[in-house]
């Protein structure tokens, strides 16, 4: 199956060069070109490309702004394209699979594509494993029970959501904590939050807890709280998420302050 690629760059010459090189790759299909961040967001959400070549510096919304805007959606593989090497570290911190420093050679382009193909293969395997296991789980449980698909070295396993104590964001992944262990699930916290039962409450922009595991709330000095779980785990409860607990704080959504 071809890798569906989107090119995002405000420079026509840069778009043409990438287009020419990509057309030499039989396993790549160019699905579109964008010249600014706003166009890129729309194209990514509309077309769900597998790979995006994303210019870092663009007028208005830059490459990092595009990533921030689509956070929570299914993220494609990202290759940052930049004329400034100081963005290289930021590119990898943003979980880009690679970056191209303008002007780049054909050899550097081919090295990048090798990394892309390797990453695309892992992502495809993850998605297939997740789909198969979720299908088997639905069939086994009449479609009612939610299972999370966790992948670690050498194995793919199911985590029953009823066993989850709390969940923490780790980039494009979440770390799911149960009484026995913690495992990584390839899904953003925002996307996962839409699928979880109502008893799972957000207490921080990067943390969700199972309310059934909460033992007590301890007030802090600045209007925030500490959430203490039954096993003694202590988590920070940001005041902006008090609306998640109306039965305690008597607040409506949007009154977090």
Beta-strand runs (E) in 139-199: 147-152, 155-160, 164-170, 173-178, 182-185
Strand order in the sheet with 28-34: 28-34, 3-8, 51-55, 77-82, 98-101
Domains of the chain: 3-126 (3.40.50.2300), 147-249 (2.40.50.1020)
Would you state the pLDDT for residue 129?
56
Would you state the pLDDT for residue 99?
84
Where is 3: in which H helix or E strand?
Answer: strand 3-8
Give yes or no for residue 256 having a pLDDT over 80: no
Where is 52: in which H helix or E strand?
Answer: strand 51-55
Where is 12: in which H helix or E strand?
Answer: helix 12-22
Would you state the pLDDT for residue 220?
76
Note the pLDDT tens digit of each residue in 178-215: 998 898 888 888 888 888 888 999 999 999 999 999 99
How confident is the model over 115-130, as a mean pLDDT?
Answer: 73
- Is-above-0.85 flag for pTM? no
Give yes or no for residue 23 having a pLDDT over 90: yes
Give yes or no for residue 45 having a pLDDT over 50: yes
Nearest alpha carbon to residue 67 among 85, 84, 92: 92
Note the pLDDT tens digit of each residue in 68-81: 787 655 678 889 89
């Amino acid at each position: 199956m071809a890798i569906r690629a989107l090119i995002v760059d405000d420079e026509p010459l840069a778009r043409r060069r990438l287009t020419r090189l990509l057309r030499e790759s039989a396993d790549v299909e160019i699905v579109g070109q964008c010249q600014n961040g706003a166009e890129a967001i729309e194209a990514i959400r509309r077309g769900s490309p597998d790979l995006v070549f994303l210019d870092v510096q663009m007028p208005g919304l830059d490459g990092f702004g595009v990533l921030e805007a689509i956070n929570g959606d299914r993220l494609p593989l990202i290759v940052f394209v930049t004329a400034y090497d100081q963005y290289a570290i930021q590119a990898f911190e943003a979980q880009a699979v690679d970056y191209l420093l303008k002007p780049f050679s054909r050899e550097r382009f081919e090295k990048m594509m090798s990394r892309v193909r390797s990453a695309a293969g892992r992502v495809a395997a993850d998605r297939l494993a997740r789909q198969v296991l979720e299908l088997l789980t639905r069939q086994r449980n009449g479609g009612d029970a939610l299972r999370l698909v966790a992948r670690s070295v050498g194995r793919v396993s199911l985590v029953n959501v009823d066993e989850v104590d709390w969940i923490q964001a780790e980039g494009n992944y979440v770390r799911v904590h149960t009484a026995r262990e913690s495992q990584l699930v390839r899904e953003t916290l925002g996307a996962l939050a839409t699928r979880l039962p109502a008893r799972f409450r957000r207490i921080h922009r990067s943390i969700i807890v199972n309310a059934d595991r909460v033992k007590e709330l301890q007030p802090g000095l600045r209007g925030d709280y500490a959430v203490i779980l039954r096993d003694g785990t202590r988590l920070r409860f940001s005041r902006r998420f008090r609306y998640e607990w109306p039965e305690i704080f008597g607040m409506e959504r949007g009154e977090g302050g």
